[in-house]
Amino acid sequence: MDENYQTYLNRVARMMLPETYRSQVQHIQESPKFQPRPEGGFQAVPFPGYTVITPPSEEDSENLAFYTQLKDCQEQLLQKLDPDMMVAVPPASFHVTLADLIWDNAYRDASQNPEFDVRLPHTIAQIFQQSLPLVSGGIPIRWQLLGLMVMPRALAVYLLPADEPSYDRILKLRQTVYQNRDLISLGIEQQYHFTAHITLGYFGSVSADLDRDRLSSTLCDFNLQWLENAPELLVKRAELRKFDDMTRYYREPDWPVLEF
């Protein structure tokens, strides 16, 4: 399902075009992952599951400068959007999803089996061991911030691989994950092709009279700051993490880790 390197570059580059933004903002809608509080603001709705991600920013000291810039970007974006339009995720939770696993109702159903939460970490540990010869290489995996990503219910930033090996090594990990029969037997399968991104926030309140043309122009202009000085993220670890909602990703000390 995942694309080759050049196809990925071409697809993501098209996402930066003004006409793409104009089309995407026509379809944005409020996210069900957050709900309004009676006293104002928003709160996260339960949305449990598992994922394979890079360490969250609060635990990733090697990428401190990158995540500091991303936090500044999030704050600037909030100032430019209508009030309550974007519910910002905690900057401490910023991360790159390397392989979606299972979430929401699919996880609730699977976890009815009391062995599920034991078998999953064990299976991911085996997968990490199998993929190690394919993804290790000594040379850092490097991704660069490209620009804003507009999804129907969220805003994120796109990441572009700095070179072909950085892309291919992530894809080899994903192939090892999604082709594993034990994981498939747990009800986990690939549902999306890979688009490297970091979510900044979810749409909270989308006004009926939102000026969507103005919004698309705002997002396009926002990208100009990265044309000549794109921040770079080093990907050195993949970890199994669990989440209860979209604000925090945690792990047990003995859960598997893959060092690239």
- Rounded to the nearest angstrom, the gap between the alpha carbon of residue 127 and the centroid of all alpha carbons in its chain is 21
The answer to whether position 80 is within a domain reads yes
The answer to whether position 40 is within a domain reads no
Q: Over range 196-212, report the average pLDDT.
A: 95
Confidence of residue 152 (pLDDT cuts 50, 70, 90): very high
Please report the pLDDT score of residue 64 as a whole number: 97
**pLDDT one-digit tens code per residue, 7-21:** 999 999 999 999 999
Nearest-Å Rg of the Cα atoms of the chain is 18
Number of folded domains in the chain? 1
Query: 242 forms bridges with which residues in the sheet?
Result: 50, 250
Please report the pLDDT score of residue 17 as a whole number: 94
**What percent of the chain lies above the pLDDT cut of 90?**
92
Please report the pLDDT score of residue 40 as a whole number: 87
Paired tokens of 147: 């620009």
Q: Over range 109-135, report the average pLDDT.
A: 96
Mean pLDDT of the chain: 95
Please report the pLDDT score of residue 85 as a whole number: 96
The answer to whether position 35 is within a domain reads no
pLDDT higher than 90, residue 122: yes
Q: Over range 203-225, report the average pLDDT.
A: 93
The answer to whether position 32 is within a domain reads no
The answer to whether position 232 is within a domain reads yes
pLDDT higher than 90, residue 227: no
Residues 143, 171: Cα–Cα separation, whole Å: 14
Q: Which domain holds residue 16?
A: 5-25+45-259
Residues 5, 179: Cα–Cα separation, whole Å: 20
Confidence of residue 135 (pLDDT cuts 50, 70, 90): very high
The answer to whether position 225 is within a domain reads yes
The answer to whether position 36 is within a domain reads no
**pLDDT one-digit tens code per residue, 24-46:** 999 999 999 999 998 889 999 99
Residue 49's closest CA among 109, 123, 101, 113? Answer: 101
Q: Looking at residue 226, which CATH number applies to its domain? A: 3.90.1140.10
